[in-house]
Structure 1
Amino acid sequence: MSQNTKSHRPASHQAYEIIRDRILNGGIPSGTKVVEEKLAQELGFSRTPIREALRQLIYEGLIVNKKVVQPTEKDLRNLFQVRILLEGFSSQAAAIYLPEEELDLLSHCIKVGREGTTEEIMEANERFHEIIVHASGNSQIIDIINRMKSIIYLFRKTVVLHQRPRLIEEHEEIYEAIKARDGQAAKQMMENHLQADLDFCLHILSSTNYKR
Protein backbone atom coordinates (compact mmCIF):
# COMPACT_ATOMS: atom_id res chain seq x y z
CA MET A 1 0.00 0.00 0.00
CA SER A 2 1.39 3.41 -0.95
CA GLN A 3 2.22 6.05 1.63
CA ASN A 4 -0.23 8.38 -0.10
CA THR A 5 -3.06 5.89 0.36
CA LYS A 6 -2.16 5.43 4.02
CA SER A 7 -2.24 9.17 4.62
CA HIS A 8 -5.94 9.24 3.73
CA ARG A 9 -6.83 6.56 6.27
CA PRO A 10 -8.27 7.64 9.64
CA ALA A 11 -5.62 8.50 12.20
CA SER A 12 -7.11 5.98 14.63
CA HIS A 13 -6.64 3.18 12.09
CA GLN A 14 -3.07 4.23 11.35
CA ALA A 15 -2.30 4.32 15.08
CA TYR A 16 -3.97 0.93 15.55
CA GLU A 17 -1.87 -0.70 12.82
CA ILE A 18 1.39 0.75 14.15
CA ILE A 19 0.75 -0.33 17.74
CA ARG A 20 -0.61 -3.74 16.71
CA ASP A 21 2.39 -4.48 14.49
CA ARG A 22 4.82 -3.47 17.22
CA ILE A 23 3.11 -5.82 19.65
CA LEU A 24 3.03 -8.71 17.18
CA ASN A 25 6.67 -8.22 16.16
CA GLY A 26 7.91 -7.91 19.73
CA GLY A 27 8.64 -4.19 19.52
CA ILE A 28 6.35 -3.69 22.50
CA PRO A 29 7.03 -6.75 24.70
CA SER A 30 4.41 -8.77 26.57
CA GLY A 31 3.63 -7.28 29.96
CA THR A 32 4.48 -3.72 28.94
CA LYS A 33 2.20 -1.14 30.54
CA VAL A 34 0.34 0.83 27.89
CA VAL A 35 0.30 4.57 28.56
CA GLU A 36 -1.96 6.57 26.25
CA GLU A 37 -0.07 9.86 26.63
CA LYS A 38 3.31 8.25 26.00
CA LEU A 39 2.11 6.51 22.83
CA ALA A 40 0.52 9.71 21.53
CA GLN A 41 3.78 11.60 21.98
CA GLU A 42 5.94 8.82 20.57
CA LEU A 43 3.80 8.17 17.49
CA GLY A 44 2.85 11.76 16.78
CA PHE A 45 -0.91 11.36 17.14
CA SER A 46 -3.37 13.17 19.37
CA ARG A 47 -4.80 11.21 22.28
CA THR A 48 -8.19 10.63 20.65
CA PRO A 49 -7.00 8.33 17.81
CA ILE A 50 -4.65 6.57 20.26
CA ARG A 51 -7.59 5.97 22.60
CA GLU A 52 -9.67 4.55 19.72
CA ALA A 53 -6.76 2.34 18.61
CA LEU A 54 -6.31 0.98 22.13
CA ARG A 55 -10.03 0.25 22.34
CA GLN A 56 -9.71 -1.98 19.25
CA LEU A 57 -6.62 -3.71 20.63
CA ILE A 58 -8.45 -4.41 23.88
CA TYR A 59 -11.34 -5.87 21.86
CA GLU A 60 -8.89 -8.15 20.03
CA GLY A 61 -7.28 -9.25 23.29
CA LEU A 62 -3.82 -7.80 22.64
CA ILE A 63 -4.14 -5.42 25.59
CA VAL A 64 -5.50 -6.67 28.92
CA ASN A 65 -5.72 -4.56 32.08
CA LYS A 66 -3.74 -1.76 30.38
CA LYS A 67 -0.82 -4.10 29.60
CA VAL A 68 0.31 -5.94 26.47
CA VAL A 69 -1.13 -9.44 26.80
CA GLN A 70 0.96 -12.26 28.27
CA PRO A 71 -1.01 -15.31 27.15
CA THR A 72 -1.00 -18.12 29.71
CA GLU A 73 -1.13 -21.84 29.01
CA LYS A 74 -4.82 -21.71 29.89
CA ASP A 75 -5.34 -18.88 27.37
CA LEU A 76 -3.62 -20.99 24.73
CA ARG A 77 -5.76 -24.04 25.44
CA ASN A 78 -8.96 -21.95 25.45
CA LEU A 79 -8.05 -20.32 22.15
CA PHE A 80 -7.43 -23.63 20.44
CA GLN A 81 -10.57 -25.22 21.86
CA VAL A 82 -12.59 -22.50 20.16
CA ARG A 83 -10.63 -22.83 16.93
CA ILE A 84 -11.01 -26.63 16.88
CA LEU A 85 -14.79 -26.32 17.24
CA LEU A 86 -15.29 -23.51 14.73
CA GLU A 87 -12.69 -24.42 12.12
CA GLY A 88 -13.66 -28.10 12.25
CA PHE A 89 -17.23 -27.11 11.43
CA SER A 90 -15.99 -24.69 8.76
CA SER A 91 -13.92 -27.41 7.08
CA GLN A 92 -16.97 -29.64 6.89
CA ALA A 93 -18.91 -26.75 5.33
CA ALA A 94 -16.06 -26.03 2.91
CA ALA A 95 -16.28 -29.59 1.59
CA ILE A 96 -19.86 -28.85 0.62
CA TYR A 97 -19.83 -25.22 -0.43
CA LEU A 98 -16.30 -24.09 -1.35
CA PRO A 99 -16.24 -23.13 -5.07
CA GLU A 100 -13.56 -24.48 -7.43
CA GLU A 101 -11.71 -21.17 -7.73
CA GLU A 102 -11.22 -21.07 -3.97
CA LEU A 103 -9.99 -24.67 -4.01
CA ASP A 104 -7.29 -23.35 -6.33
CA LEU A 105 -6.46 -20.66 -3.77
CA LEU A 106 -6.07 -23.31 -1.06
CA SER A 107 -3.74 -25.22 -3.35
CA HIS A 108 -1.70 -22.06 -3.95
CA CYS A 109 -1.42 -21.51 -0.18
CA ILE A 110 0.05 -25.00 0.16
CA LYS A 111 2.56 -24.32 -2.64
CA VAL A 112 3.69 -21.09 -0.94
CA GLY A 113 3.88 -22.96 2.35
CA ARG A 114 6.42 -25.32 0.80
CA GLU A 115 8.49 -22.81 -1.15
CA GLY A 116 7.98 -19.32 0.31
CA THR A 117 9.95 -17.13 2.68
CA THR A 118 9.02 -17.17 6.36
CA GLU A 119 6.83 -14.10 5.90
CA GLU A 120 5.13 -15.61 2.84
CA ILE A 121 4.54 -18.87 4.72
CA MET A 122 2.94 -16.94 7.59
CA GLU A 123 0.63 -15.14 5.17
CA ALA A 124 -0.23 -18.34 3.28
CA ASN A 125 -0.99 -20.15 6.54
CA GLU A 126 -3.35 -17.36 7.62
CA ARG A 127 -5.00 -17.24 4.19
CA PHE A 128 -5.52 -21.02 4.11
CA HIS A 129 -7.46 -20.96 7.37
CA GLU A 130 -9.28 -17.75 6.43
CA ILE A 131 -10.65 -19.24 3.20
CA ILE A 132 -11.98 -22.24 5.07
CA VAL A 133 -13.57 -20.16 7.85
CA HIS A 134 -15.33 -17.94 5.30
CA ALA A 135 -16.65 -21.07 3.57
CA SER A 136 -18.81 -21.65 6.65
CA GLY A 137 -21.05 -18.81 5.48
CA ASN A 138 -21.65 -18.09 9.17
CA SER A 139 -21.05 -14.44 10.05
CA GLN A 140 -20.85 -15.22 13.77
CA ILE A 141 -18.05 -17.75 13.26
CA ILE A 142 -16.20 -15.37 10.94
CA ASP A 143 -16.52 -12.54 13.48
CA ILE A 144 -15.23 -14.66 16.37
CA ILE A 145 -12.20 -15.85 14.40
CA ASN A 146 -11.50 -12.30 13.16
CA ARG A 147 -11.57 -11.06 16.74
CA MET A 148 -9.02 -13.72 17.68
CA LYS A 149 -6.82 -13.12 14.64
CA SER A 150 -4.08 -11.11 16.35
CA ILE A 151 -3.71 -13.59 19.21
CA ILE A 152 -3.72 -16.46 16.70
CA TYR A 153 -0.86 -14.68 14.91
CA LEU A 154 1.28 -14.77 18.05
CA PHE A 155 0.98 -18.54 18.26
CA ARG A 156 1.24 -19.04 14.49
CA LYS A 157 4.69 -17.48 14.70
CA THR A 158 5.69 -20.20 17.16
CA VAL A 159 4.44 -22.92 14.81
CA VAL A 160 6.10 -21.49 11.67
CA LEU A 161 9.37 -20.18 13.11
CA HIS A 162 10.03 -23.44 14.95
CA GLN A 163 9.08 -25.42 11.83
CA ARG A 164 6.44 -27.74 13.19
CA PRO A 165 6.73 -31.14 11.48
CA ARG A 166 4.05 -32.04 8.90
CA LEU A 167 2.42 -28.59 9.04
CA ILE A 168 2.08 -28.24 5.26
CA GLU A 169 1.40 -31.93 4.72
CA GLU A 170 -1.61 -31.59 7.03
CA HIS A 171 -2.82 -28.58 5.06
CA GLU A 172 -2.59 -30.69 1.92
CA GLU A 173 -4.58 -33.51 3.53
CA ILE A 174 -7.31 -31.05 4.56
CA TYR A 175 -7.33 -29.62 1.04
CA GLU A 176 -7.64 -33.10 -0.52
CA ALA A 177 -10.57 -33.96 1.76
CA ILE A 178 -12.33 -30.70 0.87
CA LYS A 179 -11.61 -31.27 -2.83
CA ALA A 180 -13.07 -34.78 -2.56
CA ARG A 181 -16.14 -33.21 -0.89
CA ASP A 182 -15.64 -35.46 2.14
CA GLY A 183 -16.93 -33.22 4.92
CA GLN A 184 -16.41 -35.63 7.80
CA ALA A 185 -12.79 -36.29 6.82
CA ALA A 186 -12.10 -32.57 6.35
CA LYS A 187 -13.58 -31.82 9.79
CA GLN A 188 -11.55 -34.54 11.51
CA MET A 189 -8.32 -33.55 9.75
CA MET A 190 -8.72 -29.88 10.70
CA GLU A 191 -9.42 -30.80 14.31
CA ASN A 192 -6.33 -33.05 14.38
CA HIS A 193 -4.26 -30.34 12.69
CA LEU A 194 -5.17 -27.70 15.26
CA GLN A 195 -4.65 -30.13 18.14
CA ALA A 196 -1.16 -30.79 16.77
CA ASP A 197 -0.56 -27.01 16.62
CA LEU A 198 -1.64 -26.73 20.25
CA ASP A 199 0.55 -29.62 21.39
CA PHE A 200 3.54 -28.18 19.52
CA CYS A 201 3.06 -24.70 20.99
CA LEU A 202 2.77 -26.13 24.51
CA HIS A 203 5.98 -28.09 23.98
CA ILE A 204 7.89 -25.06 22.68
CA LEU A 205 6.57 -22.80 25.42
CA SER A 206 7.40 -25.28 28.19
CA SER A 207 10.90 -25.85 26.81
CA THR A 208 11.58 -22.10 26.90
CA ASN A 209 10.44 -21.77 30.53
CA TYR A 210 7.18 -20.11 29.49
CA LYS A 211 5.28 -18.88 32.54
CA ARG A 212 1.65 -19.81 33.20
Structure 2
Amino acid sequence: MHQAATAPQDGEEFSLAERAYRAIRDRLVMLEIRPGAPINEEQLGQSLGVGRTPVREALKRLQYERLITTYPRRGTFATDVNITDLAHISEVRQELEPLACAQAARRATAADRAALTALRRQLEAAESRPHDAVELMHLDLRVHRTIYATTHNPYLEDTLVRYDNLATRIWCLFIDRLSDMAGHVGEHGPLIEAVVAGDPDRAAHLARRHVEGFEQAIRGAI
Protein backbone atom coordinates (compact mmCIF):
# COMPACT_ATOMS: atom_id res chain seq x y z
CA MET A 1 0.00 0.00 0.00
CA HIS A 2 1.31 3.44 -0.92
CA GLN A 3 1.84 5.88 1.89
CA ALA A 4 0.09 9.22 1.79
CA ALA A 5 2.02 12.42 1.33
CA THR A 6 3.98 13.61 4.33
CA ALA A 7 1.63 15.36 6.73
CA PRO A 8 2.18 19.07 7.37
CA GLN A 9 3.97 19.93 10.61
CA ASP A 10 3.59 22.92 12.89
CA GLY A 11 0.49 24.15 11.11
CA GLU A 12 2.06 24.20 7.65
CA GLU A 13 -0.34 23.85 4.75
CA PHE A 14 1.11 22.33 1.62
CA SER A 15 -0.17 23.09 -1.85
CA LEU A 16 -1.53 20.26 -4.00
CA ALA A 17 1.68 20.34 -6.03
CA GLU A 18 3.79 20.09 -2.86
CA ARG A 19 1.71 17.19 -1.57
CA ALA A 20 2.00 15.43 -4.92
CA TYR A 21 5.73 16.07 -5.01
CA ARG A 22 6.35 14.63 -1.56
CA ALA A 23 4.22 11.55 -2.15
CA ILE A 24 5.70 10.73 -5.58
CA ARG A 25 9.21 11.50 -4.34
CA ASP A 26 8.95 9.01 -1.51
CA ARG A 27 7.48 6.32 -3.76
CA LEU A 28 10.49 6.77 -6.04
CA VAL A 29 12.97 6.86 -3.16
CA MET A 30 11.57 3.70 -1.55
CA LEU A 31 11.42 1.98 -4.98
CA GLU A 32 7.65 1.57 -4.70
CA ILE A 33 7.92 2.95 -8.23
CA ARG A 34 10.62 0.66 -9.57
CA PRO A 35 13.72 1.98 -11.36
CA GLY A 36 13.03 2.24 -15.08
CA ALA A 37 9.24 2.07 -14.63
CA PRO A 38 7.13 4.40 -16.80
CA ILE A 39 5.50 7.34 -15.05
CA ASN A 40 1.78 7.71 -15.81
CA GLU A 41 0.53 11.17 -14.85
CA GLU A 42 -3.15 10.19 -14.88
CA GLN A 43 -2.66 7.11 -12.69
CA LEU A 44 -0.54 9.06 -10.22
CA GLY A 45 -3.14 11.81 -10.02
CA GLN A 46 -5.91 9.31 -9.37
CA SER A 47 -3.95 7.49 -6.67
CA LEU A 48 -3.17 10.79 -4.91
CA GLY A 49 -6.58 12.35 -5.42
CA VAL A 50 -5.20 15.36 -7.32
CA GLY A 51 -5.43 16.64 -10.88
CA ARG A 52 -2.78 16.36 -13.57
CA THR A 53 -1.47 19.91 -13.13
CA PRO A 54 -0.07 19.32 -9.59
CA VAL A 55 1.40 16.03 -10.78
CA ARG A 56 3.13 17.73 -13.71
CA GLU A 57 4.55 20.42 -11.41
CA ALA A 58 5.82 17.69 -9.07
CA LEU A 59 7.42 15.76 -11.93
CA LYS A 60 9.34 18.85 -13.07
CA ARG A 61 11.00 19.05 -9.64
CA LEU A 62 11.66 15.32 -9.53
CA GLN A 63 13.40 15.44 -12.90
CA TYR A 64 15.72 18.15 -11.58
CA GLU A 65 16.43 15.95 -8.55
CA ARG A 66 17.44 13.02 -10.82
CA LEU A 67 14.60 10.80 -9.66
CA ILE A 68 12.85 10.69 -13.04
CA THR A 69 14.03 11.04 -16.62
CA THR A 70 12.10 12.20 -19.69
CA TYR A 71 12.98 10.96 -23.17
CA PRO A 72 11.61 12.70 -26.29
CA ARG A 73 8.85 10.65 -27.96
CA ARG A 74 9.26 7.87 -25.37
CA GLY A 75 7.87 9.33 -22.18
CA THR A 76 8.89 9.74 -18.53
CA PHE A 77 10.49 7.00 -16.44
CA ALA A 78 11.81 6.45 -12.94
CA THR A 79 15.58 6.89 -13.04
CA ASP A 80 17.65 3.73 -12.98
CA VAL A 81 19.69 3.08 -9.84
CA ASN A 82 23.31 3.03 -10.95
CA ILE A 83 25.75 1.62 -8.40
CA THR A 84 28.57 3.59 -10.05
CA ASP A 85 26.91 6.73 -8.59
CA LEU A 86 27.61 5.49 -5.05
CA ALA A 87 31.13 6.95 -4.87
CA HIS A 88 29.97 10.35 -6.15
CA ILE A 89 27.03 10.51 -3.76
CA SER A 90 29.18 9.40 -0.80
CA GLU A 91 31.83 11.99 -1.67
CA VAL A 92 29.28 14.77 -1.26
CA ARG A 93 27.63 13.29 1.84
CA GLN A 94 30.96 12.71 3.64
CA GLU A 95 31.54 16.46 3.54
CA LEU A 96 28.02 17.79 4.09
CA GLU A 97 26.50 15.31 6.57
CA PRO A 98 29.07 16.13 9.31
CA LEU A 99 28.56 19.85 8.65
CA ALA A 100 24.79 19.47 8.90
CA CYS A 101 24.92 17.47 12.12
CA ALA A 102 27.36 19.91 13.72
CA GLN A 103 25.16 22.86 12.77
CA ALA A 104 22.07 21.04 14.03
CA ALA A 105 23.81 20.53 17.38
CA ARG A 106 24.58 24.25 17.54
CA ARG A 107 21.20 25.52 16.38
CA ALA A 108 18.62 23.05 17.69
CA THR A 109 15.64 24.75 19.31
CA ALA A 110 13.61 23.25 22.12
CA ALA A 111 11.07 22.08 19.51
CA ASP A 112 13.84 20.50 17.44
CA ARG A 113 15.22 18.65 20.45
CA ALA A 114 11.74 17.39 21.31
CA ALA A 115 11.20 16.10 17.76
CA LEU A 116 14.60 14.38 17.74
CA THR A 117 14.00 12.85 21.18
CA ALA A 118 10.70 11.43 19.92
CA LEU A 119 12.55 9.89 16.97
CA ARG A 120 15.10 8.45 19.38
CA ARG A 121 12.26 6.69 21.21
CA GLN A 122 10.95 5.34 17.90
CA LEU A 123 14.41 3.94 17.15
CA GLU A 124 14.49 2.21 20.52
CA ALA A 125 11.03 0.75 19.90
CA ALA A 126 12.07 -0.51 16.46
CA GLU A 127 15.15 -2.16 17.92
CA SER A 128 13.04 -4.07 20.47
CA ARG A 129 10.80 -5.86 17.95
CA PRO A 130 11.25 -7.96 14.79
CA HIS A 131 12.75 -5.87 12.02
CA ASP A 132 10.57 -4.65 9.18
CA ALA A 133 12.97 -3.43 6.49
CA VAL A 134 10.53 -0.94 4.94
CA GLU A 135 9.60 0.48 8.35
CA LEU A 136 13.30 0.90 9.18
CA MET A 137 13.96 2.70 5.91
CA HIS A 138 11.09 5.14 6.50
CA LEU A 139 12.43 5.77 10.00
CA ASP A 140 15.93 6.32 8.59
CA LEU A 141 14.55 8.93 6.18
CA ARG A 142 12.65 10.73 8.95
CA VAL A 143 15.76 10.95 11.13
CA HIS A 144 17.90 12.37 8.34
CA ARG A 145 15.27 14.88 7.23
CA THR A 146 14.64 16.05 10.79
CA ILE A 147 18.35 16.63 11.39
CA TYR A 148 18.66 18.52 8.10
CA ALA A 149 15.72 20.75 9.09
CA THR A 150 17.39 21.37 12.45
CA THR A 151 20.31 23.10 10.69
CA HIS A 152 17.91 25.98 9.92
CA ASN A 153 19.79 26.39 6.65
CA PRO A 154 17.31 25.75 3.81
CA TYR A 155 20.07 25.47 1.19
CA LEU A 156 21.98 22.85 3.14
CA GLU A 157 18.72 21.06 3.96
CA ASP A 158 17.54 20.90 0.35
CA THR A 159 20.92 19.69 -0.89
CA LEU A 160 21.20 16.92 1.67
CA VAL A 161 17.61 15.75 1.23
CA ARG A 162 18.35 15.30 -2.47
CA TYR A 163 21.53 13.30 -1.88
CA ASP A 164 20.03 11.25 0.93
CA ASN A 165 17.12 10.36 -1.39
CA LEU A 166 19.57 9.09 -4.02
CA ALA A 167 21.54 7.15 -1.40
CA THR A 168 18.34 5.60 -0.02
CA ARG A 169 17.38 4.31 -3.49
CA ILE A 170 20.70 2.46 -3.63
CA TRP A 171 20.12 1.15 -0.09
CA CYS A 172 16.64 -0.12 -1.02
CA LEU A 173 18.01 -1.88 -4.10
CA PHE A 174 20.24 -4.05 -1.92
CA ILE A 175 17.96 -4.27 1.12
CA ASP A 176 17.59 -8.05 0.89
CA ARG A 177 21.37 -8.56 0.92
CA LEU A 178 22.20 -6.34 3.89
CA SER A 179 22.84 -8.35 7.03
CA ASP A 180 22.81 -5.57 9.64
CA MET A 181 20.38 -2.98 8.41
CA ALA A 182 18.89 -2.56 11.90
CA GLY A 183 22.37 -1.85 13.25
CA HIS A 184 22.97 0.80 10.60
CA VAL A 185 19.68 2.55 11.35
CA GLY A 186 20.33 2.15 15.08
CA GLU A 187 23.52 4.21 14.70
CA HIS A 188 21.25 7.25 14.60
CA GLY A 189 20.62 6.89 18.34
CA PRO A 190 24.01 8.22 19.52
CA LEU A 191 23.96 10.80 16.71
CA ILE A 192 20.61 12.16 17.87
CA GLU A 193 21.89 12.25 21.45
CA ALA A 194 24.91 14.32 20.35
CA VAL A 195 22.71 16.80 18.49
CA VAL A 196 20.25 17.11 21.40
CA ALA A 197 23.16 17.54 23.83
CA GLY A 198 24.58 20.36 21.69
CA ASP A 199 27.88 18.55 20.98
CA PRO A 200 28.82 19.53 17.40
CA ASP A 201 32.20 17.75 17.35
CA ARG A 202 30.74 14.40 18.39
CA ALA A 203 27.77 14.85 16.05
CA ALA A 204 30.09 15.53 13.10
CA HIS A 205 32.28 12.53 13.94
CA LEU A 206 29.33 10.16 14.20
CA ALA A 207 27.81 11.48 10.97
CA ARG A 208 31.03 10.93 9.02
CA ARG A 209 31.38 7.42 10.39
CA HIS A 210 27.75 6.69 9.51
CA VAL A 211 28.17 7.72 5.86
CA GLU A 212 31.40 5.76 5.54
CA GLY A 213 29.69 2.70 7.02
CA PHE A 214 26.82 3.05 4.55
CA GLU A 215 29.17 2.95 1.56
CA GLN A 216 31.09 -0.02 2.99
CA ALA A 217 27.87 -1.94 3.63
CA ILE A 218 26.64 -1.42 0.08
CA ARG A 219 29.97 -2.42 -1.44
CA GLY A 220 29.97 -5.53 0.73
CA ALA A 221 26.51 -6.45 -0.56
CA ILE A 222 27.35 -6.08 -4.25
TM-score by length of 1: 0.71
Correspondences of 1:132-151 after superposition (within 5 Å): 132-148=147-163, 150-151=165-166
Structure 1 residue 166, shift from structure 2 partner: 2.9
Residue 127 of structure 1, aligned match among 139, 142, 147: 142
- Tell me the SS of whatever aligns to 2:66: coil
Using the alignment, how far apart are the partners of 1:96 and 1:63 within structure 2? 35
- Decide which structure has greater helix share: 1
For 1:62, the equivalent position in structure 2 comes to 67
Report the AA paired with residue 120 of structure 2.
I
Native 8 Å contact 1:87 1:132 kept in 2: no
Q: How large is the RMSD of aligned CA atoms in angstroms?
A: 3.6
Tell me if 1:78 matches 2:88. Answer: yes
Residue 178 of structure 1, aligned match among 182, 190, 195: 195
User: Structure 1 residues 185, 43: CA separation in 2 closer, same or farther (over 3 Å shift)?
Assistant: closer
Structure 1 residue 29, shift from structure 2 partner: 2.6
Residue by residue over 1:25-68, the C-alpha shift from the partner in whole angstroms, topping out at 9 and shown as x without a partner, is 5454312355xxx5437856876555433212202211135432
Unmatched tracts of structure 1, length 5 or more: 3-8, 207-212
Correspondences of 1:1-212 after superposition (within 5 Å): 16=21, 19-20=24-25, 22-34=27-39, 39-40=41-42, 48-65=53-70, 66-116=76-126, 118=132, 119-148=134-163, 150-157=165-172, 162=178, 163-164=180-181, 166-204=183-221, 206=222
User: Structure 1 residues 102, 158: CA separation in 2 closer, same or farther (over 3 Å shift)?
Assistant: farther
User: Structure 1 residues 156, 103: CA separation in 2 closer, same or farther (over 3 Å shift)?
Assistant: farther
Using the alignment, how far apart are the partners of 2:186 and 2:19 within structure 1? 37
TM-score by length of 2: 0.68
Unmatched tracts of structure 2, length 5 or more: 5-13, 71-75
The structure having more radius of gyration, on CA atoms, is 1
Identity %: 23
Using the alignment, how far apart are the partners of 2:54 and 2:152 within structure 1? 33
User: Structure 1 residues 68, 90: CA separation in 2 closer, same or farther (over 3 Å shift)?
Assistant: same
Using the alignment, how far apart are the partners of 1:172 and 1:46 within structure 2? 40
Using the alignment, how far apart are the partners of 1:143 and 1:186 within structure 2? 20
Report the AA paired with residue 95 of structure 1.
A
User: Structure 1 residues 189, 21: CA separation in 2 closer, same or farther (over 3 Å shift)?
Assistant: closer
Residue by residue over 1:6-41, the C-alpha shift from the partner in whole angstroms, topping out at 9 and shown as x without a partner, is xxx87656665665455445454312355xxx5437
For 1:6, the equivalent position in structure 2 comes to none
User: Structure 1 residues 107, 78: CA separation in 2 closer, same or farther (over 3 Å shift)?
Assistant: same
Native 8 Å contact 2:17 2:55 kept in 1: yes
For 1:5, the equivalent position in structure 2 comes to none
The number of equivalent residue pairs is 198
User: Structure 1 residues 12, 81: CA separation in 2 closer, same or farther (over 3 Å shift)?
Assistant: same
Using the alignment, how far apart are the partners of 2:159 and 2:135 within structure 1? 24
Residue by residue over 1:83-115, the C-alpha shift from the partner in whole angstroms, topping out at 9 and shown as x without a partner, is 222221011112222134433432322321232
